[in-house]
Amino acid sequence: MILRVDRLQTELPPPSDPDPVGASAVQELLGGKFGEMSTFMNYTYQSFNFRSRQGARPFYDLLASIAAEEFGHIELVASAINTMLTGAADGDPGEAGDLSGVKSTRNTQQFIAGGAAALVQDSMGKPWNGDYVFSSGDLLEDLTHNFFLETGARNNKLKVYEMVDHPAARALTGYLLVRGGVHQVAYARAIEKLTGADLMKMFPSPRIPTEKIPECQPHIQRGEHLKLYRFSPKDYQEIAAVFNGPHPETGEELRIAEEVQPEGAPPFDLPPQPAVFAPGPEPEEIAQIAARLRQAAGLPSEPTGVVANDGSGVLGKVKDALT
């Protein structure tokens, strides 16, 4: 089972100028063949299907831990897309013309089927597909596939980084390029422990110059390029038996984080978009009902969850929170 923490794995900026065309490109990193839905579902099904877990425990623990991290990556990509779509469909429900601004955007379904929201699709609107999951039951085959998947995923992230200059897309790809590098190394190291073959020497690809990318630097300085998390208070300890030794590119020592999960950051409470009925045509009504329910349940009058802004949905206040 999975425990859930109501924080993002890394900080994303607040909404700024909307960029729906950029957001449609970022969809590739969510629902594309090499997107986060794919990494999450590949490692999740491989861990569900894993036989002889006790006999192969370090490898099982590695797959299960990285699978859990990928869940949070999907959350991050969706949050970046939602941030980029905020304000693109400004207006009130029923006002003719309030959505004309997004008529010619690349993915109108984000507004028609969704409330200015991420969809489980790639950058061309093609739905994510279970055929993207490879779970053969053969550990070496699965690990080799995963190395290839992480390699392709980083390649796609770099292209989206180069294509889209919205601050949310840049913060997202800066973080995911660093974490994807750790996963690439982890699967290469697992194959090396199993067979002696060093994939990082055989296929030094993709050549991602993370040292040149400003948005990667804060994560590298915090050592995020060297460690894996277990995402569990007690379990999955045996990843330490596989994920160790020097980083193949920098020579620094790989390690397992002492903390259960990344510290991360609270998400911005993105403002309502009533023109697309999110969270409804009259968001105030829902807020009033929630306040009454909270009171009746004996909860504090202020919401107990933590967000990065004051939750009023006013963008000016969101920006104030950062300064």
310 is written with which tokens? 């004051």
CA 214, distance to chain mean position in Å, is 19
Among the residue ranges 136-144, 180-188, 222-230, 283-291, the one whose residues contact Mn ion (CB under 5 A): 180-188
Least separation in angstroms between residue 70's CB and Mn ion is 5
Please, which residues have CB within 8 angstroms of residue 109's CB and are 6 or more apart in sequence?
119, 121, 125
Among the residue ranges 102-110, 113-121, 131-139, 172-180, the one whose residues contact Mn ion (CB under 5 A): 172-180
Q: How many helices (H) and strands (E) does the chain have?
A: 11, 2
Among the residue ranges 56-64, 67-75, 101-109, 273-281, the one whose residues contact Mn ion (CB under 5 A): 67-75
Helices (H), 107-166: 109-112, 139-163
Based on CB atoms, which residue is closest to Mn ion, 213 or 318? Answer: 213
Among the residue ranges 35-43, 99-107, 212-220, 255-263, the one whose residues contact Mn ion (CB under 5 A): 35-43
Among the residue ranges 39-47, 112-120, 272-280, 305-313, the one whose residues contact Mn ion (CB under 5 A): 39-47
Beta-bridge mates of residue 121 = 127
Based on CB atoms, which residue is closest to Mn ion, 79 or 273? Answer: 79
Q: Which of 73, 145, 170, 219 binds Mn ion (CB under 5 A)?
A: 73
Per CB under 5 A, does 39 bind Mn ion? yes
Based on CB atoms, which residue is closest to Mn ion, 22 or 180? Answer: 180
Size of the site for Mn ion (CB under 5 A): 6
316 is written with which tokens? 């000016």
Based on CB atoms, which residue is closest to Mn ion, 203 or 306? Answer: 203
Least separation in angstroms between residue 216's CB and Mn ion is 14
Based on CB atoms, which residue is closest to Mn ion, 29 or 99? Answer: 29
- Maximum separation of any 2 CA atoms in the chain, in Å: 65
CA separation for the pair 101, 103 (Å, rounded)? 6
Least separation in angstroms between residue 221's CB and Mn ion is 20
What length is written for the chain?
Answer: 323
Q: Pick the closest to residue 269 from 311, 231, 303 (CA basis).
A: 311
Q: Pick the closest to residue 180 from 161, 201, 194 (CA basis).
A: 161
CB–CB of 191/199 below 8 Å?
yes
Which residue in this structure is represented by tokens 């109501």?
A: 6
Based on CB atoms, which residue is closest to Mn ion, 24 or 156? Answer: 156
Three-class DSSP category at 90:
coil
Based on CB atoms, which residue is closest to Mn ion, 216 or 318? Answer: 216
Least separation in angstroms between residue 80's CB and Mn ion is 13
Q: Which of 145, 166, 170, 183 binds Mn ion (CB under 5 A)?
A: 183
Q: Please give the sequence-ordered ranges of beta strands (E in DSSP) within 36-161, or none if there are none.
A: none
Residues at the contact surface with Mn ion, assessed by CB under 5 A:
36, 39, 70, 73, 180, 183
